[in-house]
Amino acid sequence: MIRISFILWALMLVTWCAMRYPAMRRARRQKTAIDKRTPLDISLLVLCTLGLVAMPVLWRLDVFGGLADRGQGIVTLVLGTLSGIAFLWLFRRSHKDLGKNWSVTLEVREGHQLVTGGVYAYVRHPMYASFLLWGVTQALLIPNWIAGLAGLVAVFALYAVRQSREEAMMRDTFGAEYDAYCARTKRLVPGIF
């Protein structure tokens, strides 16, 4: 069961990378109008890479020597697979809806438009929501308390630091239009939060 869990996690990781690659290439070609990146932002992105990629691989290579391992049952495997499918769908949909407006860091592109359609009609931060789902998926599929939860902790840290700064940047860029958008949408969970 543990081997199946890791294979499913690895397949989702490869799928995520395949989805992200075209957006990264497109983003490199876009000119930046406003750049609010800080060393803290870059550090948090590195932390996410360590938590969401490196820790599960290190666990599988038995670097932890069994420390903090837990059992893996069929229910956890199924729930992890379902949350992984939800993550990949929301991640893909977020990228598709953002199009050329996407950036991995706090940037506004030249000709940037406020996206309020698609999944953005329901939540302001579906990309963060997708990564939180990825963290939940990892926690369910990687049967180790440290490696399993590392991604979720890293994504929460990124979200906690960046979301208010990102919203301030959008408010500075789009003004009342962004305020109106905020009034009719929630941050991560439609109708709730």
pLDDT tens digits along 71-112 = 999 999 999 999 999 999 999 999 999 998 898 889 998 899
In a domain, residue 25? The reply is no
What is the structure's pLDDT at 167? 95
At 9, which CATH number? 1.20.120.1630
DSSP code per residue over the chain: -HHHHHHHHHHHHHHHHHHHHHHHHHHHHSPEEEE---HHHHHHHHHHHIIIIIHHHHHHTTTTTTTTB----HHHHHHHHHHHHHHHHHHHHHHHHHGGG--SSSEEETT-----SGGGGTBS-HHHHHHHHHHHHHHHHS-BHHHHHHHHHHHHHHHHHHHHHHHHHHHHHHTHHHHHHHHH-BSSSTTT-
Are residues 6 and 142 in contact, defined by beta-carbon separation less than 8 angstroms?
Answer: yes
pTM for the complete prediction?
A: 0.93
Q: Total domain count for the chain?
A: 1
Find the domain containing 149 and state its range: 2-19+51-184
| Burial 123-144, CB ≥16 within 10 A → b, else e | bbbbbbbbbbbbbbbbbbbbbb
Span 135-190, pLDDT tens digits: 999 999 999 999 999 999 999 999 999 999 999 999 999 999 999 999 999 999 99
Q: Tell me if 85 is assigned to some domain.
A: yes
Q: Do residues 96 and 67 make contact, with C-beta atoms less than 8 angstroms apart?
A: no
Q: What confidence tens digit (pLDDT) does each residue in 101-141 have?
A: 898 889 998 899 999 999 999 999 999 999 999 999 999 99
What the block records as the tokens of 162 is 């960046």
Length of the chain as a residue count: 193
- Residue 159 falls within a domain, yes or no? yes
Q: Is residue 24 domain-resident?
A: no
68 in any annotated domain: yes
Residue 16: which of 75, 119, 94 has the closest Cα?
A: 94
In a domain, 33, yes or no: no
